[in-house]
Structure 1
Amino acid sequence: MKMWAVLRLREFRVTSTTEFLSVVGDQFSRVALTVMVFDQTDSAALTGLTYGLTYLPTMAGALLLSTVADRRPRREVIVTINAVRAVGVAAMTVPGIPLTALCVLVAASSFLNGPYKAAHLALLRDIVDTEQYTAAMALRQSANQAGQLVGFAVGGIIASTVSPQVCLAVDAATFAISAILIRSFVSFRPISASPAQRRSLVGGLRVVWSGRGQRAIFASTLSGLFLMAPDSLVTPFVHEMGASPAWVGFLLAASAACSFLGLGLLARFLPQRHRTRAFPIACLAAGAPLPLVLLGGGPYCALVVFGLSGTLWAIQVVLSVSFLGDMLPDAQRAQGMGVAASMNLTAQGIGAALAGLVAQVTGPREAIALSGVAAVLFALLPSSLWIRRTAGSRASRGQGDSSKTGEHEGAPLSA
């Protein structure tokens, strides 16, 4: 079983553990920052802006610095970024820190998250082989979702009953521990790109847009614009249903729990040769359950809808990252994957805000349903690109045209 084979790899266990710790710490920080800013300003707008600063600069960091993980040893990039972020987050715990300084530190930490994710995703592809990669991504995605749940739940309790500064201190500690573990237990690997292969900002965009396969995957990262609606509107949705506030946690947990099960089944039962066909189906299917919230049925029906949509979205993400990791040449892998991963996060942040604006006009139930319809319609773009790419690859193989096969299969790209 591939999942057990992946778990036997020490380097995978270490990198997954450190990323889990970082995810938990990040959620601690988000909870703490919203509490601190609201306490200082009593402004919902500034609180929302600060929360946005934990996401939006990530894209800029990925565009500007992801190539560093191709020009420097990836392990060292991860260790350095974690060490710098540990110091920056620790500085946020200083009592009476000015709001301006707090926002600058938040934005800087988010900015560094871009190259961190690029280096981490590229290093994961170095650790596991092609046959293990999808299983490794499924395990990673499941662990990250569990980390988000733990971070939000425990962070909320600590921030409200103890102190938001304690949450920030825990986040700083997770970065420091992660740096130590990666430095101690992950092997050194040489630089992937030579000086002549160093890429520019424009190259970072071109590397994820040079071929139908890459374009399909890059387009699929934007699906978070619509698929974030259930999570971002869960509180007003539960209130509108008249259900207990406890259902907020249950509905959020449903997505993570069902995703964990679904990704395990994907890695266990879907053979590698069928995953190419599964990707466009997952893209189209992820938003399809959401309009069912209009049928009513209470929180139990919502539990099924949220869980099913979250699972299909998680499968889409795992398949897309797995394919992209294989398509990109090693000298450009960190840059391409960093841009794609950061675009996904940025789309989620913007999507959460858009869902709130729509819900203000239509109501949360209707906004979730509309987001589902929009997600399905938008998914026609990556699905059609992927199907055309697959058809082109088969035609090229049938004709024995090696140059066309290279174009469709994601041969090394020039940027």
Structure 2
Amino acid sequence: MSAPALAGPVGYGRVLAVPEFRAVFAAHVLSMLGVIVSEIALSVLVYDLTGSPLLSALTFALGFLPYLVGGTLLAGVGDRFPARRVLVVCDLVCAGCVAAMAVPGTGIGVLLGLRCALAVVSPVFAGTRMATLSDILGGGDLFVLGRSLLRIVAQSALLVGYGLGGLLLAVLAPRHALLITVAGFLASAALLRLGTRHRPARARVRVRERAGTRRLLADRRIRLLLLLFWIPAMFAVVPEALAAPYADALGAGSPGLGLLMCALPVGTVAGELYAGARLGPAARERIALPLVCLTLLPYLGYALHPSLTVSLLLLLLAGAGSAYTLGLDQWFVRAVPEELRGRAMTVLSAGLMTIQGVGMTLAGVAAEAVGVRATVAAAGVVGVVCCCALAAAARRAARPGC
């Protein structure tokens, strides 16, 4: 996992200069905003129909749980079929599901079932898209920066999408807002179909799902890299999961809650932009493991009962530390055989979403027992220990002969 001898920073401008990537980037913006707006609109629609806060919250939870199903049962789809076809079909399936949600008279059970279907398709789409980036941009620094840009869009979409969703629902009924989401998915499908070129399937022979995933996970380097992506993320979501009760404990009200929800994504975007624009690939790989060990350290500050301002600074620092992912991306694409790349990216995406859902759930359970501040501080302690252990294992695996 050592860094290759590469030149200095390439810069995001070089990535955006690639026409195919611009099509993927624009499609990503549309689909991300569509997903977020649909989540808000569906949550409001379910609450309007039932008056149940539990069922309304369940629409968000269902966005996490089925990822594991899609990531395990459908992991090889992106390798067995041409990537462009998989991406377009996924967008069309999502458009169809949301269109069905918008039909008047659709029952609650059907609405939640359609929400599950979206979540099953999502890891296949995300994994295939990430594998396609390596075809479009190559496996070097351009790929790392392209993946970074898509992550930045995802974080920015959280900030913009919730505000946009709120504005739409102020002037439109939830079902009408869902129709706008349908248009976004269709536009994304059109961009991918017309803006990217056809490439044959990666896998020359059909590989059974279990055998292919077993082969992937049999490689110790790949297992370590997957854990380096997943474990920090499981602990990182704890403050987000507990933002509402924490804002209430601070007496910060709704404005404070909004700031607490935004701080981590803002830090993440700032860290990725700096690492992507100002550091070369070798430097980003050198700092990856130290940042993995440090990124959760700010959470220990919650034990000191910080004010809202200090809490925001701690979250910004923790978010900036997630720039370690740029170094991990390069190691991951080098470690995975080309014929398993779509499967690997799907497993990575599915595992990431699933483990974040697990982290949020455990955070809620722990907060009930010991309180919010103690839970976040404990997440910092346990998370730092786990991350340091993984970083040490990764260093040993990188030594010659290991």
Tell me if both proteins adopt one fold, taking TM over 0.5 as the criterion. yes
* Aligned-partner Cα distance in 2 for 1:239–1:346: 28
1:153-168 equivalences in 2 (<5 Å) = 153-159=163-169, 162-168=172-178
CA-to-partner distance for each residue in 1:154-203, whole Å, 9 max, x for gaps? 213333553222332222221111000010111111221112x5242242
1:202-351 equivalences in 2 (<5 Å) = 202-207=211-216, 209-220=217-228, 221-313=230-322, 315-351=323-359
- Per the alignment, residue 151 of structure 1 pairs with 161
* Aligned-partner Cα distance in 2 for 1:13–1:301: 38
Give, in angstroms, the shift of residue 229 of structure 1: 0.9
Does the alignment pair 1:5 with 2:14?
A: yes
- Per the alignment, residue 20 of structure 1 pairs with 29
1:324-403 equivalences in 2 (<5 Å) = 324-391=332-399, 395-396=400-401
- Per the alignment, residue 69 of structure 2 pairs with 60
| Contact 1:137–1:322 (8 Å) recurs in 2 | no
What SS does the aligned partner of 1:146 have?
A: helix
* Aligned-partner Cα distance in 2 for 1:98–1:135: 43
What SS does the aligned partner of 2:297 have?
A: coil
Does the alignment pair 1:136 with 2:146?
A: yes
- Per the alignment, residue 40 of structure 2 pairs with 31
Give, in angstroms, the shift of residue 145 of structure 1: 0.5
What SS does the aligned partner of 1:198 have?
A: coil
Give, in angstroms, the shift of residue 137 of structure 1: 2.0
1:52 partner amino acid: A
What SS does the aligned partner of 1:245 have?
A: helix
| Contact 1:228–1:348 (8 Å) recurs in 2 | yes
What SS does the aligned partner of 1:334 have?
A: helix
* Aligned-partner Cα distance in 2 for 1:91–1:136: 33
User: Structure 1 stretches (4+) deviating beyond 6 angstroms?
Assistant: none
Give, in angstroms, the shift of residue 335 of structure 1: 0.2
CA-to-partner distance for each residue in 1:357-412, whole Å, 9 max, x for gaps? 22222222222212222211221342122111112xxx24xxxxxxxxxxx7xxxx
What SS does the aligned partner of 2:106 have?
A: coil
Give, in angstroms, the shift of residue 294 of structure 1: 2.5
What SS does the aligned partner of 2:175 have?
A: helix
TM-score, scaled relative to structure 2: 0.92
> What is the percentage of aligned positions where both structures have the same residue?
28
- Per the alignment, residue 181 of structure 1 pairs with 191
* Aligned-partner Cα distance in 1 for 2:55–2:254: 25
Q: 1:16 to 1:202 in 2, by over 3 A?
A: same
* Aligned-partner Cα distance in 2 for 1:185–1:202: 34
- Per the alignment, residue 6 of structure 2 pairs with none
Which one of the candidate residues 54, 57, 79 is aligned to 1:70? 79
- Per the alignment, residue 86 of structure 1 pairs with 95
| Contact 1:27–1:151 (8 Å) recurs in 2 | yes
What SS does the aligned partner of 2:130 have?
A: helix
- Per the alignment, residue 403 of structure 1 pairs with none
- Per the alignment, residue 402 of structure 1 pairs with none
| Contact 1:158–1:166 (8 Å) recurs in 2 | no
Q: 1:146 to 1:362 in 2, by over 3 A?
A: same
| Contact 1:89–1:168 (8 Å) recurs in 2 | yes
CA-to-partner distance for each residue in 1:66-119, whole Å, 9 max, x for gaps? 211111110110001101110111110112211111111111111111211111
Q: How many residues align?
A: 391
CA-to-partner distance for each residue in 1:130-151, whole Å, 9 max, x for gaps? 1212222222211111112111
1:214 partner amino acid: I
- Per the alignment, residue 3 of structure 2 pairs with none
TM-score, scaled relative to structure 1: 0.89
Q: 1:201 to 1:173 in 2, by over 3 A?
A: farther
**Structure 1: segments with no counterpart, 5+ residues:** 397-407, 409-415
* Aligned-partner Cα distance in 1 for 2:267–2:236: 16
Which deviates more from structure 2 when the two are superposed, residues 251-260 or residues 19-28? Answer: 251-260
* Aligned-partner Cα distance in 1 for 2:69–2:281: 34
* Aligned-partner Cα distance in 2 for 1:384–1:102: 46
CA-to-partner distance for each residue in 1:328-373, whole Å, 9 max, x for gaps? 1111000011101110011111211221222222222222212222
1:284 partner amino acid: C
1:163 partner amino acid: A
| Contact 1:192–1:331 (8 Å) recurs in 2 | yes
* Aligned-partner Cα distance in 1 for 2:50–2:324: 40
| Contact 2:130–2:147 (8 Å) recurs in 1 | no
| Contact 1:222–1:343 (8 Å) recurs in 2 | no
1:272 partner amino acid: P
Q: 1:6 to 1:217 in 2, by over 3 A?
A: same
**Structure 2: segments with no counterpart, 5+ residues:** 1-9
What SS does the aligned partner of 2:218 have?
A: coil
2:383 partner amino acid: A
